[in-house]
A = this chain, B = another copy of it.
Amino acid sequence: MNRQILLTPGPTPIPPESLQAESLPIIHHRTAEFVELFNETQENLKYVFQTREKVFTLMSSGTGGMECAVVNLVSPGDKVIVTACGVFGERWVKILNVFGANVVALRTEWGVTVKAAELEKALKDHPDAKAVFTTLTDTSTATACDILGYGKAVSKTPAILVVDAISGLAGQEMYMDEWQVDAVITASQKGLMTAPGLGFISVSPKGWAAVQASKSPRFYWDLRAIEKSSHDGETPFTPAVSLIRAVNASLKLIRKKGLPQVFQQARDLAKFTREEGGKLGLGLFAKDPCDVLTAFVLPEGVNGGALIKQIVKKTGISMAGGQEKLKGRIVRIAHMGYIQKADIEKGIRALSENLAEMRAAAARP
Contacts and interface: CB of A to CB of B under 8 A. Distances in A.
Contacts of A30: 8
A199 to B, nearest CB: 8
Q: Per DSSP, are chain A's interface residues mostly helix, strand or loop, or mixed? A: loop
A100 to B, nearest CB: 7
A264 interface: no
Most buried by B among A6, A28, A100: A28
Contact of A11 (B22, B29, B64): B29
Interface of A: 4, 6, 8, 10-14, 19-20, 22-31, 59-64, 67, 94-95, 98-100, 187, 189, 195-198, 217-220, 236-243, 312, 318
Contact of A243 (B12, B29, B197): B197
Contact of A98 (B99, B219, B238): B219
A91 to B, nearest CB: 9
A229 to B, nearest CB: 12
Contacts of A8: 28, 30
Contact of A59 (B20, B28, B61, B94): B61
Contacts of A10: 238
11 contacts: A4-B27, A6-B27, A11-B26, A11-B27, A22-B23, A61-B220, A62-B238, A64-B64, A67-B220, A99-B219, A197-B242
A214 to B, nearest CB: 13
Contacts of A312: 31
A261 B232 CA distance: 40
Contacts of A61: 59, 220, 237-240
Most buried by B among A60, A218, A242: A242
B196 A239 contact: yes
